[in-house]
A and B are shown apart, each in its own frame.
Chain A
Amino acid sequence: MKDQGFEIISAAQDTGGEVAAGEIFDDGGATYTTIIDVQHTISSLYNFVNVPSAVWIDEEGKIVRYNEGTYAAKHTMGTFEFGRDDYLPAVRDWIENGADSKYVQTASAVSKNIIARSSDAELAEPTFKLGVYFHLEGDEQRANTYWEQAQALNPDSWNFHRQDWSFTPAEAMINWQEKRMGLGDKPYYQPLGLKKK
């Protein structure tokens, strides 16, 4: 697909670094650009609040499809299957047809899909990164202080919650369930907009 002027950048949002995400990249045998994004820079820049997220960028640097839960292929986790088969064909259609692809969104649709952050949520960004700094310094107490602040400032960011919980795995599932229950039906992704077969 590289020959057709197409690149994939896959960015693991993993403060745990190579130890946490490296093996998964290795197992996948990735031939595309792989980044372990310790500070969640991509999520921060693109206003992503969870993984997986994806963005399509055209030859001029303009976003032509934005933020969707992109389990691009079927995955199995034990007996639990998730993901979908119709995402990759959509990407292929875009590679072939460019702006004429029916999967390309209009500029106004893209802008509408980008959810601006409140000033509190903006403050959550450097606060989370301060937590990352202390975590990398081995100061877990301070890391937790700032990660908790970041989660309070932007409760919509699942990235902040789930990254924090990943360091206390025993409580992670309970935390996730509590948060999920509180959320009700509130969506945090744009609908994928692909027809289910």
Chain B
Amino acid sequence: MKRIAIALLGVIVMTGIEASAVTVLCNDNVVEVENTLADPTDLWVSPEDLTRINGFELKPEGACLDSICIPLKQNADSESYVRRDGQPWVNVSTLARRLEQPFVVDHDEGIWSFGAIPATRGSFLTSGMAPDFALEDRDGKTVRLQDFRGKKVLIVTWASW
């Protein structure tokens, strides 16, 4: 209850005036977000920017990515969702906490760095399914593990150091 009260206080404090731009690191992408809501602790973005950041889409039932759906009430302000001047804003940091997704922020520079969502890693940890990735090879071509389905793949890591 106390946590909700504090969160609500945070929402009330927010002026609805857009704060400075931030940079969000997620899934190895660097996403520049022009508009955020002023909040000393949390990251509020538009639904469009939420999708750019982590792929989650705002649906009637909540914020969803594939089979994961975080229930989100959109008829009233909450710690996860508010409306300001008719414009909806989603709290990325609250969603991350609900997903137990680790993140760290450098407030001085406005850089948010999000880690993996545990729910997306279950098939790796419990049944040994190889996690997919999209990385550029040295020729600039995107390499995805799923492109090699039907073949055996040996992944090796090394380093110059």
Contacts and interface: CB of A to CB of B under 8 A. Distances in A.
A126 B129 contact: no
B152 A94 contact: yes
Nearest to B100: A119
A58 interface: yes
Interface residues of B, number: 47
Given A114-B128, A122-B116, A146 B156 contact: no
B1 interface: no
B119 interface: no
Nearest to B108: A142
B138 A91 contact: no
Interface string A1-27: 000011111111110101011101100
Contacts of B129: 61-63
A12 B148 CA distance: 19
Contact of B104 (A12, A36, A55, A146): A146
Interface centre among A63, A72, A134, A165 (most CB of B within 10 A): A63
A114 B156 contact: no
A133 B28 CA distance: 10
Interface in A91-125: 91, 94-95, 98, 107, 110-111, 114, 116, 119, 122-123, 125
Contact of B159 (A123, A142, A163): A163
A107 B124 CA distance: 11
B143 A9 contact: yes
A126 B116 CA distance: 8
Given A59-B149, A123-B102, A33 B28 contact: no
Nearest to B102: A123
Contact of A55 (B136, B155, B159): B155
B124 A114 contact: yes
Interface string B38-62: 0000000000000000000000000
11 contacts: A7-B151, A8-B154, A45-B133, A46-B131, A51-B157, A56-B154, A57-B148, A59-B150, A59-B152, A130-B104, A172-B161
Interface of B: 23, 25, 28, 30, 100, 102-104, 106, 109, 111, 113-116, 118, 124-133, 135-138, 143, 145-146, 148-161
